[in-house]
Chain A
Amino acid sequence: MTALPPLTAAEARVDAEEARRARALRVDKVARWVLPVLVFLILIGLWDRIVVWNRIPHYILPGPGLVVETLIKDWAILFSALLVTLQITLMALAVAVIGGVGLAILFNQSRFAEMSFYPYAVILQVTPVVSIAPLIFIYVENRTAGLLLCAWIVAFFPILANTTLGLNSTDHNLRDLFRIYGASRWQRLRYLQLPSALPYFLGGLRIAGGLSLIGAIVAEYVAGTAGIGSGLAFRILEAGYRLNIPRMFAALLLIAVCGVVIFAGLSFLSHMLLRKWHDSAIRRES
Chain B
Amino acid sequence: MQDGPLCPSCEHPMSDLIHRPTLPLGQRPKVLEMSRVGKVFNGNVTALRDMELTVNEGDFISLLGPSGCGKSTALRLIAGLSNPTSGRILWDGGQGRGDLGVVFQEPTLMPWATVAQNVYLPFRLRGRSYPEVRSEVEEALSLVGLSAFLDAYPRELSGGMKMRVSIARALVTNPRLILMDEPFAALDEITRHKLNTDLLALKSNIGCTVIFVTHSVFESVFLSDRIVVMAARPGRVIEELAVTAPYPRSEAFRTSADYAAHCQIASRALHLAMGEPA
Contact = CB atoms under 8 A, between A and B. Distances in A.
Interface stretch (A50-58, A117-125, A149-157, A179-187): A179-187
Contact of B110 (A179, A187, A195, A276): A195
B68 to A, nearest CB: 19
A178 B153 contact: no
A177 B108 contact: yes
A174 B80 contact: no
Given A173-B104, A277-B153, A282-B155, A181 B122 contact: yes
Contacts of B80: 179-180
Interface in B99-142: 100, 102, 104, 106, 108, 110-113, 121-122, 124-126
B185 to A, nearest CB: 14
A178 B112 contact: no
A28 interface: no
Interface string A264-279: 0000000000001111
B53 interface: no
B121 A277 contact: no
Interface residues of B, number: 20
Mostly, the A contact residues are: helix
B102 A180 contact: yes
Nearest to B117: A191
Nearest to B104: A173
A195 B110 CA distance: 9
Interface residues of A, number: 21
Contact of B81 (A171, A180, A182, A183): A180
Contact of A180 (B100, B110, B113): B100
Contacts of B90: none
B150 interface: no
B200 interface: no
Contacts of A277: 111-112, 153-155
Contacts of B77: none
A200 to B, nearest CB: 13
A176 B81 contact: yes
A178 B102 CA distance: 11
Nearest to B181: A173
B79 interface: yes
A202 to B, nearest CB: 12
B108 A181 contact: no
Interface in B137-170: 153-155
A276 B153 contact: yes
B127 to A, nearest CB: 9
Contact of B125 (A171, A187, A195, A276): A187
A198 B104 contact: no
Nearest to A273: B112
Interface string B237-254: 000000000000000000
Contact of A179 (B81, B122, B124): B81
Contacts of A195: 110, 112-113
B108 A171 contact: yes
Interface in B62-94: 79-81
A192 interface: yes
Contacts of B124: 187, 191
17 contacts: A173-B106, A176-B79, A176-B102, A177-B108, A177-B121, A179-B81, A181-B121, A181-B126, A183-B125, A191-B110, A191-B124, A192-B110, A195-B113, A198-B112, A277-B154, A278-B111, A279-B155
Given A178-B125, A187-B124, 8 more contacts: A174-B108, A177-B108, A179-B80, A181-B125, A181-B126, A191-B121, A192-B110, A276-B153
Name the 9 nearest CB pairs between A and B, nearest first: A173-B108, A181-B125, A195-B112, A173-B104, A183-B125, A277-B111, A277-B112, A277-B153, A181-B122
